[in-house]
Amino acid sequence: MSAARQLVELVDEVFRLSEAFVRAGDRIVAEDDLTASRWMTLGAVAHGPLSVAGIARRRGMRRQSASESVTWLEAAGLVTRAPDPTDARAPLVHLTDEGRRTLDRIRPRRVAWAERTAAVATSDELAAAVDLLRRLREALADADSTR
């Protein structure tokens, strides 16, 4: 089988895996009234404030999806928006204390899920998969930047 055909199979599998990850994420955070997308958004600002565009970039989401999640999370009291002192056009999204407590409640469920799920592969296999996916993503980003 050619490398191109193998890549097509990999892409198909990645799309199916992405959907499976979203469903798993939805189950992990359901008791906190979140979705996987909202959880990803909340987690994006766990280490410091970001703009909606920054959240979208960090999580590989569309800006519109990140914006919708931020609006919901803000209404739920899990994040706040504040002016960015370096860019008045794009406020920064900050995690609230309740947002931090929510992530802390989710963490043990996420860890348990990851330990169960990772059992299908060795550490070396997972590291190789991460490396390959990262190189493919970077190659695609490079190709996009040269257009």
Each residue of 89-99: pLDDT tens digit?
889 999 999 99
Neighbours of 127 (CB within 10 A): 11
CATH of residue 108's domain is 1.10.10.10
Helix axes 36-44, 52-59, angle to 10 degrees: 110
Range of the domain at 140: 3-145
Rounded mean pLDDT, 24-33: 97
The tally of domains found in the chain comes to: 1
Output the pLDDT for position 87: 84
Q: Are 69 and 75 in contact (CB under 8 A)?
A: no
| Predicted pLDDT at 145 | 73
Give 104-122 pLDDT, tens digit per residue: 999 999 999 999 999 999 9
Look at residue 146 in the predicted model and tell me its pLDDT: 73
- C-alpha span between 97 and 92 (Å, rounded): 16
C-alpha to C-alpha distance for 64 and 53, rounded to whole angstroms: 9
| Helix locations, the chain, DSSP H | 3-29, 36-44, 52-59, 63-75, 97-118, 123-145
Distance (Å, whole) CA 42 – CA 32: 12
